[in-house]
Amino acid sequence: MRTATTVEGAGSVEFVVEAEKLGLDDVYVAEAWGPDAVSVLGHLAARTSRIRLGSGVLQVGTRSPVAIAQAALSLAELSGDRFVLGLGPSGPQVVEGLHGVSFARPLTRLRETLDVVRQVCAGEKVELHGSTVRIPLPGESRPMRVSVAPREIPVYLAALSPAMLRLTGETADGWLGTSFVPEGAAAYFGPLDEGLAAAGRTRADLDVCQGAEVGFARDEAELAEMVAARKPGLAFSLGGMGSARTNFYTAAYSRQGWADVAAAVRERWQAGDRIGAADLVTDEMVLATTLLGTEEGVRERLRVWQAAGVDTVRLYPAGETLDEKLTTLGRALDLVP
């Protein structure tokens, strides 16, 4: 397996510089409701020389499709073609609540955005008369091409729902997944494989990139503490990552066999009981979706992830300080081979 991580903001630059020295293959820069990803990626392009850089992810709808492609072309040039464009639909709370853009028809918007991005990167005149993207607009305008040299840029899609997974299998170079339970992976791989088959492709044509927190415990008592500390974050994903009606994380966990727990946690969270929501998250749920354990336990879970079909493991190293996080990351990287 290849190795990766996800970071956010300019404060992560030193971590990435040191992670490159440790041998990490890829780093993705997140853009949720905090710092933008493009600025940080440009800085990382100047501070690194080998590690592959990716957006993880740019939200479609918050930038025009051409602006996304222009940023991708610039980052590819700045990094010496070490850039991967990660795109995703985000959710209604961020897209509508923060950016003031309609979240309607996210699947169509992602497909049409990807179409435009590939036109731009191929050096073509941009023209698309779609349902969510219309370029050029009617009137005096006519199709244009950007004045940047064409480049082939890999595109990875962040997908959780079956429809988005089918689109990923059909069109993308990689899948940026999350909320992954290897024992329930069929919920993801079923629609993903349908998309691959529709396009005449196989799993070999797609980089399956999954992420999880990694942390090492000396014994069962310390592991219990680590599991307990992870529950509030998982409760937030199930209850707070979305609107009152739409939460893709709850749906994803439900499809992997956690429907009752996910629904109960979300209900408690939406009622304002954050502590009660975290208390409903089970130890088994945390351990199934993370890489927490003794060194041998983490090694064994990595084998399970690999056997499930993961090509790249995105590691989120536990630790309070930079040194602690790098130490955890280094231990995990030693286990992956």
Q: How many residues does the chain have?
A: 337
**pLDDT attached to residue 32:** 86
Quote the pLDDT of residue 242: 65
Residues of the chain with pLDDT under 50: none
Buried (b) or exposed (e) across 148-180, using 16+ Cβ within 10 A? eeebebbbbbbbbbbebbbbbbbbbbbbbbbbb
The pLDDT value given to residue 93: 84
The pLDDT score that the predictor gives to residue 243 is 62
pLDDT tens profile 269-313: 888 999 999 999 999 989 999 999 999 999 999 999 999 999 999
| Residue 251: predicted pLDDT | 81
pTM for this model (two decimals) = 0.92
